[in-house]
Amino acid sequence: MNDLGVLRDLAIIVGLAIPVVALAHRLRMPPLVGFLLVGVAIGPRGAGLIPEVESVAALSEIGVVLLLFAIGLELSLSRVLEWGTAVLVTGGAQMLGMLAIGAAVGSALGLPLGQSLFYGALAAMSSTAVVSKTYADRDELDTPHAREVLSILVFQDLAIVPLMLLLPLLGGDARAGEGAWLRLVVSLAAMTALIAGGRLVVRWTLDRVVAVRDRELFTLCVGFFAVATALVASSFGFSLAIGAFLAGLIISESEYGLQALSDVVPFRALFSGVFFTSIGMLLDLSFAAGQVPLLLGAIVLLVVVKSLVAAGAVLLRGRPLATGLISGISLAQIGEFSFVLAAAGLPLGLFAGDDYQVFLTVAALSMMATPFLIAAARPIANRVGTHPAAIEGFEPSGSPQRRSDHAVIIGYGIAGRYLARMLRAAGIDCVVIEQNAELMRQAQRDEMPAVYGDGSRHGILEHANCAGARLIVYAISSPIEERRGVIVAREVAPNATIVVRTRYVRAIDELMRLGANEVVVEEFEASVELFARALESYEIPQTRIARELDAVRSEHYGLLRGQSMPDLRLDALKHLSIHDALDLVEVEEGAAALGGNPLTIDLRKKTGAVQVAVIRDGHPIYERDPGFCYRAGDTAILVGDRDALDAAAVLFRRG
């Protein structure tokens, strides 16, 4: 086909994709689904706007190359190594499980072993694009199940390289013969050398290119590395797409990976759309209409088997059953890499009869069903149910049912851990609820009373006696679990103070409406602390600073959100030189004031500060009693200017 024909086909694909993808976005479905539908509509078996699938083959190949290059950029070998255990254990178990099932089913049906393993590999791959996009839309990327899912997806993305190299062996290629394994080893060695050497060359080159400060030159270099790596890799038996994937991995290890990704993303969106549209053009609707029972059975079997295998892989790492079920159901579709494998396996004769059409139809429908499956995963997991349990070291300090007026902290991550330590240091009894086994072991090492389970469920909250708690704090990073947790906690403990730490500004109003008393936004709290330090530099009294910070927080950060403007009249204090302040000073062992009182130590004459009251055992003492004597642990409430308060504090501290 001439160049004009290619441009015409591209215009048709992109022009029709715009409204369809917009509709998919409105329905909260991934754009990939929209591209598949466009392909079905305009293909030779649809309206026939593009009568020959081969006419977009070149564009499709470019789409695959850019798609894999971008995925390589998004992956980081350093991050994969950090996730080592999760990636190897969960990802490896899921992949081996699906390959084993494929071999077993194929053997039962009388298929050759190579073809059975090929089918197992096709079914094993899940869609990184669809799942990550759906999780992002649902604000679930920081949840425990999302981390497990992403670990499995990372392993699958990396496994595409050896799987592609093994395809000739699976296809029984006579040319593969005795030297096939040797070529495989040579190819893998070449890939390792390419990655190791490429990292040095890329970093050295981009360091000098960036020094020129020319954006176009940087983009040209990134494009050159992608094409050159793909060509070098192809000379060792890799496809161009796998070479581009390796190029992305190499560049991602440099500090310029994010910039390179931002340059590639717009092109990836276009050409990967062309690729998935071409896949949709291959679908035969008449075939699907005549094979409805077979296709429905295949989809149900795929969803059930993949869900169970992935859930089992997650459970191997000691994760809760609910996390395993949600992770498994989320991975129950066929992924974009399966199309790449299928395209490479088709000319090798790895598909029998109409199996290729069955694969395409099941893959497309499973991708379309993914958002609905992910939405149903949590209710299914909740229906199965989990039982609360206590770790060793909890019961001796008191059963949760016997606790009262305590604090309950849901989540023992960094924020929850530090809060629990500070509460314990302040003498406040607290209980931790955590469903991550590693964090539970951390709580055990910290000798922190802890309950194992989901802190957004009635049974778990009741086990921690939230009904008798004074404070309930949600220190997790999942908007959905935060909202559900607040609803359940308010039902279980109508009189408790509920505080939620969130990363998302838009969640404030809804969490308050659902029953939270306070919502702490990480970014805003950092700004508030900077504000406090700024006021201190202007010699604003601490009590005044505290009042102004309370004013900002009482508006639910309305000032920072641009919704309100509290009356902060701090400049009047500065210009009038009024620096009166109120301080609370604890009497320490060995202090000069110990055993005396304001009169005997001549507090006002020596320092200029005046005592308002003393707090002892939680109760204020206002009366002036000549027989009163300071005790260690008393807290004196003092008024005076800054110098007076500083001088007075010396009398109450250990000498």
Could you give the C-alpha distances from 419 to 297, 413, 460, in angstroms and in order? 51, 10, 20
pTM: 0.62
CATH no., domain 580-655: 3.30.70.1450
Residue 181's identity, in one-letter code, is W
* Per-residue CA distances from 380 to 134, 241, 294, 299, 323 (Å): 18, 38, 26, 18, 11
Report pLDDT for 419: 85
More confident residue, 614 or 217: 614
Task: Determine how many CB atoms are found less than 10 A away from the CB of residue 602.
Answer: 11
Structure tokens at 505: 């500004």
Joined tokens for residue 572? 């009047």
pLDDT at 237: 65
What dotted CATH number matches 3-384? Answer: 1.20.1530.20
The rounded percent of the chain whose pLDDT value lies above 90 is: 7
CB burial of residue 141 (10 Å; 0-12, 13-18, 19+):
middle
Residue 580 has pLDDT above 90, yes or no: no
The closest of 342, 366, 314 to 163, measured between CA atoms, is 342
What is the average pLDDT value for the chain, to the nearest integer? Answer: 77
Do 3-384 and 580-655 show the same overall fold? no
Which of residues 459 and 629 earns the better pLDDT score?
629
The pLDDT of residue 297 is above 80: yes
Predicted local confidence at residue 563, as pLDDT? 55
Name the residue ranges covered by the structural domains of the chain. 3-384, 389-516, 580-655
The CA distances from residue 74 to 62, 79, 258, 268, 515, in Å, are 18, 10, 8, 12, 38
Q: Which residues contact 593 (CB under 8 A, 6 or more apart)?
A: 587, 601, 603, 630, 636, 651, 652
The answer to whether domain 389-516 has CATH 3.50.50.60 is no
Q: Indicate whether 294 pLDDT > 50.
A: yes
pLDDT value of position 447: 84
User: 3-class DSSP state for residue 433?
Assistant: strand
Euclidean distance between CA atoms 628 and 318, whole angstroms: 59
Give the span between the Cα atoms of 409 and 500, in whole angstroms: 10
